[in-house]
Structure 1
Amino acid sequence: METHAQLAGKTALVTGGESGIGRSIVELFVANGAKVHVIGLNEPQLDEVRRELGHDSVSNAAADVTDEHALADAITAGADRWGNYDIIVSNAGIGCTVAPIERQHSAEFLKVLHVHVLGAFHTLKHATPLVADGGSVVITSSTAGLSGYAETAPYVAAKHAQVGLMRTAYKELASRGIRVNTLNPGPTQTALQDGIAKQSTGHADAAVAAQAIAEGIPLGRYNTPEEIAGSVLYLASDLSKTVTGTTLVVDGGFLG
C-alpha cells in the first residue's frame, strides 16, 4: 500500500469501520500515516481489518453504537491504546425498508433512528472529550439528509437529524478548535446501497437496479467507497482546517 503523510502522527476513531465505506476510510487513513481504532459489530471482519492493515496501525473493539455503555468502553479502549484522538468518524449506519409511511413499522423507524442518530450522539458524547484541541469530527450522513426521497421516511429522517446534530456540535466545539462536518454521499457501491436499489427499483438483480439509479445521476455512475473515503480524508486533514459546520455533498450531481 502506497504511504502518504496527510495524517502522519494522527489517531483516528472510525465507527462502522469493518466494511463498505467505513473500511475504505480506515484503509486510506492508515495509508496516510494514521493510527486507527475501529469499532463495529462484526468481530471477524474487525479482526480481518486489523490483520490486513497491521496491529501496529489498527486496533479494534466490537460494540453496538446504540448501547451507550458498551460504546463508551470501546471508545476508551482505543484512547488507552493510542492516546487521545485527533479524528472521529461517526460512520455506523443501516438501511430501511422501502415503503410508504403508512406501511412503515414503528419499531423499524426507531431502530433506524437509534443507529444513525443515537449512535452518532453517543459517539460524539463519549469521544469528543478525548479529542485533542484542533481535531476533526466527521459524521457520515447522506444526500437523504438534505433532500427527501419517497418511501424511505426512517432513513431520510435519521439523516436529516445527523445534520442537525452536527450543526449543534460544531458550535459547541469551536472554542477548542475542533471542526465538525457531515459528509453527504449520493449512491455509492456498497451492500447497503444494493439493498436500497433493489427495493426502490423493483429489480432483483443488483447490477440492473444500480444501472437504473445511475441513469439518474449526471455523471452516470455511483461513487466508489474509495472516493468517499477521499472526501473524508479531506475533512479529517489540515487541508480543510477552516472548514466546519458544513455538509460536503459527494454525489456526481445527483441532488441537482
Structure 2
Amino acid sequence: MEAAVSPFPDDADVLKALLAKALQKAEEAEQRTAAVEAQLANARARENATEAMIAHLKLQIARLRREQYGASAERTERLLAQMELELEDLEADAAEDELAAEAAATKTATVSAFERKKPVRKPFPEHLPRERVVVPAPCACPACGGSRLSRLGEDVTETIEVIPRSWKVIQTVREKFSCRDCEKIAQPPAPFHATPRGWAGPSFLAMLLFDKYGQHQPLHRQAERFASEGVPLSVSTLADQIGATCQALMPVFHLIEAHTLAAE
C-alpha cells in the first residue's frame, strides 16, 4: 500500500511563503468585498436621497398650486398630508442609508462615503432656557505635563433636550367646622371647574381641545397616549369633557362670530 503524497512541500520557508501569499490574497479579496459593499451602500444612499428630493419638490409644487388656485377640496388636504408622510419616511431612510454608507466607507480606502445635501438647521430659539455645563479644565498640559496653563477661550456645543410631560392630581382640601353656638356646619365652597361636575383642570382641557381641533388628533389616539403615560382615560370620558368645554366656550364663540360678521 502506497503512502499518501502531501500536496504541501516539506520545506518550512516554502510553506511560510505560501501562507503569506494566501493571506495576502485573502486580504485583497476582503478589501475588494468591502469596496463593493461601500459602492452598493453609496448607490443606495444616493438613490434614497434622490427619491427624497423628488418627493420634496413634488410637495413644494403641490403647495404652490394650492396657494395659486386656492383650497379646492378636502381631498387636497389629504393629498398634501399623505405627501408629507411619504417625505418623512424617505428622508429618514436617506439619513439611515447615509450613515450605513459612511460605516461601509471606513472599511476601505478606495471608496469615499456619499454625502447627502442636508438642509441648513436654524439656530435654537433664543427664548429657550440654557443649562450651562462646564467641562473641568485639565490641571496639566496633556502634551508635556506642564502646569502653567492660560485660558484662550471656549467652544460651546448646544444640544436640545425635552422634559417629558408630567401629570399630577391636585387635592383641594375643604375642612368642615361646626359652630358650638348655633350647631351649624360651615365649609368653604368647592373649587371652580370649567365644566359641570368637572374633574379636569383648565390646562388639561386646553390641551385636549388643541390636540383634537388644532393638531387633528382624534380622541382614541389621545387616550392611547395618555394610557402609555400611566393615565388611562376612556374615549367616552374625554368626549364628555370635549362637549362640556365646547358648551362652556359658546359665549366666546358668539362674541367672535358677531365681531366677524360685523366687519365690512
- Which of 1 and 2 has greater Rg? 2
TM-score (norm 1): 0.19
TM-score (norm 2): 0.19
Bigger strand fraction: 1
